[in-house]
Amino acid sequence: MWRNLFFLSLLAVWPQHSYAELRHYVASLEQSQWRLLHNSPIACTLEHDIPAYGRALFTSTAGKELNLQFTLDMWQKPDAVTRATLLSNAPVWQPGRASKTITTLNYQKYFNGEVPKKAAWVMLNELERGMEPTFYYQDWNNQQSTVAVGLSSVNFRDEYADFRQCLAQLLPYNFDDIAFTVLTYESGGTELTRTAKAQLARVERYLQYDKDVELVLIDGYTDSYGGRSVNQKVSQARAVALKALFVASGIDSTRIHAAGHGERRHVALNTSASERERNRRVVIRMSKALE
């Protein structure tokens, strides 16, 4: 009875569609599992399998602000732009609890379904309440058929607690924040300035966790004090020392290119101490595989 009432309410939300046939994908009590797929200071991913359909993924990555995205990873991608409605339903064993609309969205052709930050948080809150966030859309292969894709809340809470703990440990910066880094040095030798040491610590910590970095270019430079031959050797020593640190962080040495350029390519004059410090530098540039 309550299911019939629910479908009548859904018709009010989506009156233009026919619900003559409904295909419902959702994990049973025995099938429902949640897993913390990624658990590191650079990425947290909570995964849930949807039998015969695909999987659900809640993902947050390191950065200045806490971010969250939900992805409905479908085995079969949409053949056309498809409008979908996301509702929070009560599971079948809790009839009578009111359903509510979370959001409406469009599935893009040949892409997975995605839900933005605010709606994704609502989905997590509803799952924690024991509700069942469910997507409804018209089958792009059959205009008389409607597809319902639900996320079961069974076995959710324990993994969600671990997911939230992972979120609390995410780094407050991401790859883009460190992919181009300039480190400055004290006069002579390989001693970094205090500010540069803090910058380098950020880079080292990030590289401990991100194994997708493909290439690291390290270029050392000096000011114009001292002989050119000496400065060339100093710049090379600075670059090589940093390469050794990155190799220790787990990057294959074949992916790191270190070079010293001595007095060439100044970025400032050499007439003041601050200008010379800007020239005593190592520039680090990194790239990683496209996801």
Where in the chain are the domains? 2-168, 175-288
The helix/strand/coil state of 203 is helix
* pLDDT at res. 14: 46
- Assign 8 a pLDDT band (cuts: 50, 70, 90): very low
Domain 175-288 in the same topology as domain 2-168: no
CATH-assigned architecture of domain 175-288: 2-Layer Sandwich (3.30)
Residues 209-255 have pLDDT tens digits of 988 888 999 999 987 777 788 888 988 999 999 999 889 888 889 98
Sequence-distant (≥ 6) Cβ neighbours of residue 118 within 8 angstroms: none
SS3 74: strand
Average pLDDT over residues 2-7: 42
> How many residues are listed for the chain in this entry?
291
pLDDT in tens, 158-190: 999 999 999 999 999 999 999 999 999 888 777
Model's pTM, two decimal places?
0.84
Rounded to an integer, what distance in angstroms lies between the CA atom of residue 280 and that of residue 266? Answer: 9
Span 2-168 CATH architecture: Sandwich (2.60)
**What is the rounded CA–CA span in Å between residue 86 and residue 115?**
9
